[in-house]
Structures are given as C-alpha cells and as structure tokens.
Structure 1
C-alpha cells in the first residue's frame, strides 16, 4: 500500500497552489468546483506518487494556531544538505518564516522547517 494524497483545508486556494507548485516543482490539475457545496480543490502532484489536495469550502473558516493532535507537518525530501540550505535561504529571502534553521536532528535527518503561506509546517529534508 501507499499514501495516495494528503488533504489540507486552505483559506487562499490560489496562493497555496502557487506556493507548492513554485517551490516544490508541483504540477497542478485544473480546479475542481462544486458550486452547490461551495467547494473548490486542486491536486498537486510531485515527483513520486503521493499528492497534496488543497481544498477550500466557504463554511470552513476557523484556524487553530497552536499545537494540536493530528497532522504535525509535511516533509519534502529535497536531496541533499546543500539543497536544504539553498531552499531555506530562498524561503527566507522571499519572506517566509523559518522556524527551524538547518541542522542535523537527533534521529539523523538534516532538515530545516518553514511555514507555508497559511502557517502549515514544512520540513525540508536532505
């Protein structure tokens, strides 16, 4: 078995689509819309099988900005320590918040942690 996709409720569907396509070489499908439910979504595909589904619905508005049980972060394997460092600096230059500077973790990963445009934690893993 394998994970097909991970879904994320978003506030700004177009901004989030642009972010994941621009920085992670994602490829988006065409927008799906269900006007009756007020639902819109994109699937973003990456080099590999797992996709992200970005979803927006008019009646889902509240965001909790504290640690909660459930999905904690998304991790993107970028290929090397150098690429982690390079991408971290690109995100910093482009105004994204770096919440974990590049480092080797206790379990042996070389990573940094950034926030996407809506505050979701993204790990860049070498």
Structure 2
C-alpha cells in the first residue's frame, strides 16, 4: 500500500512558516531538527489535526529565490477543511489579517470548492472543502 507520507517546502524563515501553518490550519510542529552534516539546515515536521500526510518545513542559509513563473516542480499544497462554510470562514479571517488571497472561495472546473492563499514565502495553498 502506498500513501503520501509528507511533502516539504523550503522557507527563508522557519519560525514564521511554522507559526503560519499552526495559526491558520491547526498544525502541530514536532521538535525542531538541525542537521549535524548540512551546514545551517533546520526543519520542522508539522502534523495537521486529522493526521494524514505531514508537511516538512525546511531552511538553509543560502536559499535561492523562486523564479515566480510556473516551472517544473510542485505547484501547490491543498489542505481540506471539510466544508464550504469552513473554507469561507477561514478565507475571510485570513484576508482580514492581511494574508494574500489569490482567489476567493469558488467551485473550480475540477469540482473542488476552494480558496487559494499564499503562505509567508509565497507558496500557493489551496483551502478546499
């Protein structure tokens, strides 16, 4: 049996990213990790309330800037809130707090009810029902 165990995101500010996913999505960060062999590498694994796949937040001092345009690689992470009402409510709270909302809640062509926001590093996060 194959299942997604975790996915990872690079961040310039590990504590800011951890706080974002904890605040807005109820994630819980595990113990911080610091590599003994890769200079400056630090990370957290965050777990979401329903369990499932985790998100690894990682940083190193010499992190390059993202290209900004679509490119080969991961495009976004989608986090399910379970209902349209939860998507609407979280998207509204995030917008009021100044989190960049790329697209307001709507039903997409592929059938998801979703809003899209950017995390502190500009990564796209789909909030879905």
**What range is the shorter-chain TM-score in?**
over 0.9
User: Contact 1:11/1:61 (CA < 8 Å) preserved in 2?
Assistant: no
1:40 aligns with 2:42: yes
Q: Distance in 1 between matches of 2:111 and 2:26?
A: 26
* Structure 1 position 61, deviation (Å): 2.9
Select the residue among 31, 53, 76 that pairs with 1:50.
53
User: What residue is the counterpart of 1:28 in the other structure?
Assistant: 29
Q: When the two structures are superposed, what TM-score results if normalisation uses the length of structure 2?
A: 0.92
* Structure 1 position 35, deviation (Å): 5.3
What SS does the aligned partner of 1:50 have?
Answer: strand
User: What residue is the counterpart of 1:87 in the other structure?
Assistant: 90
Taking only aligned residues, the RMSD between alpha carbons, in angstroms, comes to: 1.1
Kindly report structure 1 stretches of 4+ aligned residues shifted beyond 4 Å: none
**What is the number of residues matched between the two proteins?**
126
- Segments of structure 1 that go 5 or more residues without pairing to the other structure are none
- Segments of structure 2 that go 5 or more residues without pairing to the other structure are none
Q: Distance in 1 between matches of 2:75 and 2:66?
A: 14
Q: When the two structures are superposed, what TM-score results if normalisation uses the length of structure 1?
A: 0.94
